[in-house]
Structure 1
Amino acid sequence: MHLLRNRVRPYAWGSRTTIAALLGREVPAPHPEAELWLGAHPGDSSTVLHTDGTERSLVDVLTEDPAGQLGPSVAGRWGERLPFLLKVLAAEEPLSLQAHPSAGQAAEGWAREEQAGIPREAGNRNYPDPTAKPELLCALTEFHALAGFRSPDRTVELLRAIQTPALAPYVDLLAGEPNQEGLRALFTTWITLPQPSIDALLPDLLDTCVQHVKEHGAFELECRTALELAERYPGDSGVLAALLLNRLVLEPGEAIYLPAGNLHTYLHGTAVEVLANSDNVLRGGLTPKHVDVPELLRVLDFGYGDMDVTTGEPVGPRRVYRTSAPEFELSRIEWARDEPRAEVKLEGGLPRIMICVDGAVRAASVSGQTVEFARGESLWLPAADPDVVLTPTDGRHVRVFAATVGTETARVATL
């Protein structure tokens, strides 16, 4: 096992304080810092720190010894590629409205764009790689998001609560067909409205939202969100589309899983995110970047209902966030301040990345190797390593997150 040095992505929606403080650097940072990447992404790989002071890209380490680093079952399925990417995400402003493709959609879209000769770095490229991109997000602080289509009946209630004369036909469209087809029709209509129509519709709608907020109406949070998005992205059809989505407030430790086709955006807060190691994003608004409406509609899932929010499954002293994604699984290991310092054992045989977000931890393998890592520091555990025991180094509150492959892959690896 080795400590890692990780890359920071400086997107404009990021925080100038959160990641800098986590890494023990000067606050505020000179520029917004949005994501800390931990993994073997070819665009920004972590580096492995060796005891002799040298560093090597994790991508290179995996390429040199895929079976030893990833394990035979993982290498057999994904080759030299670590299938997951772990992130710390710090959203100071909303991200773009987006969805991700399934494995089949990604493979077909990638092949189509390759055949068309679209450069992989081109702004209008939808599929820079042929893989799916499911995600799981676990809140570190109170975290605000929009994710998944709200029940149409409930959305009709919201739209009627803020209805203007110009909005009435759209409300009637969904009320007349309160199902997936109605959602598809309304979303498609809104996202393809000519700009003059959007500019005519939004001002009165936003004025009604202001009044609803002043009156503390039943949809105050949704209206505040629409107002905030309209201020950040004036004249953007994504402001309308956002009214169709579930508005979520996650508490620390709560998580949501975003499978293929889920339309979502993150609004504000800090979280740990684990996702398949892919860059495939189909945007639906709230962005100056390329929006490919036909391709977005091809991948969107118009299923609806409340988003499932989970605190993980207790597995001994861990909380494990299991999903249907074979690429990843996330665990949260936490010790409250001054509680008994119970040991936590992680079985060997699987590739793992761990990050400490509070306190400090000692990792001791049964072979005798010991590594201590504290807040902001992370650890790479190759599959060839034996079992590791984690123990807090003092009485502070300690939180550690560990990412590995999905449950079914892990089961195969231990057979």
Structure 2
Amino acid sequence: MYPIQPVQKRYAWGSHSRLQSMFHLPTGAVPDSDGVASETLAEMWFSAHPQSPSFVEMDDGSYQKLTQVIQKDPLAMVGEKNSQIFGPVLPYLFKVISARIPLSLQVHPLDFEARAGFNRENAAGVPLHAPDRSFKDTLAKNEMVVALEPFTASVGFAPISTQLQILRVVDHPVAQRMVSALLARTFRPGLPPEEFSAADRMMPVSSLAWPDSRRRVFRAFYTAITAEPTDRDNITPALLDADRRLGSRKVHASIVNALQAAQAFPGDPSVLCLLMMNAVCLEEGESVYIPAGTPHAYIQGTAAEIMTNSDNVLRAGMTPKHKDIASLLHSLNCQPSSPIDPSSSMIATLAMQNMVTYRPHITEYMLVYGHVEADSTAWPLMGKIAHRYGDLVQRLGPRRLLMPQSGPRILLCTEGSIVVRSCNHQVILQQGEAVFIPSAEGQVDIVSTQQTEQHSFHMSDHGSFLLASTPV
């Protein structure tokens, strides 16, 4: 097991104190990777991404990039199975993020779009770290978020009827044009409504097989993200009035998300896209999975985030950063659908007394959120989960879930202190500390410091942790 140092990412939307407190870092202005002083800390990466690798402390006390450590001995570090499938790389990127204000409205590219975009920008000579570069690698990015505290977001498109219910009462010209787009049907293939022909020219080739409902969603989304920004904020008053007129709890969360975005980005019509999307309000331990192509915007809160090992982001609005609307629209999934909870379908088998496992149906990663106590008392979070899923967990009872015994693992202590034990090593982690566990380390156990024979008087008798790994 090797201590691993997270890579700090200081973006404008980050926290002034939340991550600083968790990782015991100083507050105030700190230079970012470009030497620009910033008071906000947005993300902590535990990473083997080529552009931002973490450093691990080796047995001799030296520090090496995790990418290099894996490439030197891939069988020991990531295991034979993962080496055969993914090559000598860590197949996931694990982060802790904290959003003080909304992030950009964005989409992650599909796999073939990522490959084409990466090669296209390379051929054009765009440097990898250039601010106007969209594709940092060739991978699609499918990501999952697990809330560590209340966390809000907008994810995927809501039913068209819900979109229309909200947009119809928003007294703003862009919103009313979006309504027209959602109502304008295509009666003959290849002959779109004339007023939305520009939107149709931006549709991908696959749109030839789309049902008309997806074309209408595409046109409405396009209308908002291509509308000209204004110098004054006339969107916030329209949203406040719509919220009063609707008076519905069902749509209130969507309007609140748009209001927060409008206040952070005054005059940006793209915030109206959030009225087309599902509002997601997560409590601690709840999760959402976001496949590539799904439009989303994180609004506020702190969460663990795990994704395929990619840094590809295509932005449409709500940002001062580079926007690549053409590439985004080519990957955009316009199918209205409910947000995906990666824990719900298997909650009876994936919930134990003090541990929840989140495993979307992909091969790159899974995540465990757990808790240990010296007296083995139940974790309060589990009571919330049992309440959410009714009596299903209680009826079936706790089932044994083995911790991943192989593959590359990253273990982070998020609260208190924990002890990590394998056949060969024992490591004590306190809040904000993490280790990289190679595949060759084999099975590990995680217990409280008070359950070991050797512990310091200042150690906590409880601890919470996040364990990122490839699927068992």
Give the alignment's TM-score, normalised by structure 1.
0.89
Question: Distance between the aligned counterparts of 2:378 and 2:2, measured in 1?
Answer: 23
Question: Distance between the aligned counterparts of 2:74 and 2:99, measured in 1?
Answer: 34
1:138-179 CA distance string (max 9 Å, x none): 000000111101111111011123345774343233135582
1:46-70 CA distance string (max 9 Å, x none): 2222354332221221121111111
Pick one of 236, 239, 247 that aligns with 1:206: 236
Between stretches 141-150 and 300-309, larger displacement belongs to: 300-309
Pairs within 5 Å for 1:229-308: 229-308=261-340
Structure 1 pair 336–221 and aligned structure 2 pair: CA distance change class (3 A): farther
Between stretches 209-218 and 382-391, larger displacement belongs to: 209-218
Is 1:356–2:413 an aligned residue pair?
yes
- Contact 2:449–2:462 (CA under 8 A) maintained in structure 1: no
Question: Distance between the aligned counterparts of 1:231 and 1:188, measured in 2?
Answer: 22
* Amino acid corresponding to residue 7 of structure 1 in structure 2: V
Gaps of 5+ in 1: 411-415
Is 1:186–2:242 an aligned residue pair?
no
Instruction: Give me the identity figure in percent.
Output: 31
Is 1:10–2:10 an aligned residue pair?
yes
SS across alignment from 2:168:
helix
Gaps of 5+ in 2: 31-38, 186-211, 380-399, 451-459
Question: Distance between the aligned counterparts of 1:281 and 1:74, measured in 2?
Answer: 25
Structure 1 pair 369–185 and aligned structure 2 pair: CA distance change class (3 A): same
- Contact 1:143–1:268 (CA under 8 A) maintained in structure 2: yes
- Contact 2:265–2:319 (CA under 8 A) maintained in structure 1: yes
Is 1:369–2:399 an aligned residue pair?
no
Question: Distance between the aligned counterparts of 2:119 and 2:51, measured in 1?
Answer: 21
Match of 1:135 in 2: 143
Match of 1:120 in 2: 128
Pick one of 30, 44, 48 that aligns with 1:40: 48
Match of 1:330 in 2: 367
- Contact 1:136–1:257 (CA under 8 A) maintained in structure 2: yes
Question: Distance between the aligned counterparts of 1:200 and 1:368, measured in 2?
Answer: 63
SS across alignment from 1:346:
coil
SS across alignment from 2:441:
coil
Structure 1 pair 368–292 and aligned structure 2 pair: CA distance change class (3 A): closer
* Amino acid corresponding to residue 324 of structure 1 in structure 2: H
Question: Distance between the aligned counterparts of 2:360 and 2:343, measured in 1?
Answer: 12
**Number of residue pairs matched by the alignment:** 402
Question: Distance between the aligned counterparts of 1:266 and 1:383, measured in 2?
Answer: 33
Question: Distance between the aligned counterparts of 2:442 and 2:262, measured in 1?
Answer: 53
Between stretches 317-326 and 375-384, larger displacement belongs to: 317-326
Deviation (angstroms), 1:119: 2.5
Deviation (angstroms), 1:306: 2.1
Structure 1 pair 185–282 and aligned structure 2 pair: CA distance change class (3 A): same
- Contact 2:278–2:338 (CA under 8 A) maintained in structure 1: yes
Is 1:70–2:78 an aligned residue pair?
yes
Match of 2:350 in 1: 315
1:203-255 CA distance string (max 9 Å, x none): 2x532322344567223333333232222212223212222111111000011
Question: Distance between the aligned counterparts of 1:292 and 1:316, measured in 2?
Answer: 41
Structure 1 pair 334–175 and aligned structure 2 pair: CA distance change class (3 A): farther
Is 1:380–2:388 an aligned residue pair?
no
* Amino acid corresponding to residue 293 of structure 2 in structure 1: G
SS across alignment from 1:243:
helix
Structure 1 pair 200–306 and aligned structure 2 pair: CA distance change class (3 A): farther
Match of 2:387 in 1: none
Deviation (angstroms), 1:84: 0.7
1:255-305 CA distance string (max 9 Å, x none): 111101011111110000001111111111001122122211100000112
- Contact 1:254–1:310 (CA under 8 A) maintained in structure 2: no
Structure 1 pair 216–396 and aligned structure 2 pair: CA distance change class (3 A): farther
SS across alignment from 1:309:
coil
Question: Distance between the aligned counterparts of 1:303 and 1:159, measured in 2?
Answer: 18
Between stretches 42-51 and 297-306, larger displacement belongs to: 42-51
SS across alignment from 1:179:
helix
Deviation (angstroms), 1:35: 0.5
* Amino acid corresponding to residue 67 of structure 1 in structure 2: L
Structure 1 pair 111–134 and aligned structure 2 pair: CA distance change class (3 A): same
SS across alignment from 2:371:
strand
Question: Distance between the aligned counterparts of 1:172 and 1:163, measured in 2?
Answer: 14
SS across alignment from 2:153:
strand
Q: CA RMSD in A?
A: 2.6
Structure 1 pair 396–27 and aligned structure 2 pair: CA distance change class (3 A): farther
- Contact 2:372–2:446 (CA under 8 A) maintained in structure 1: no
* Amino acid corresponding to residue 330 of structure 1 in structure 2: L
Match of 1:413 in 2: none
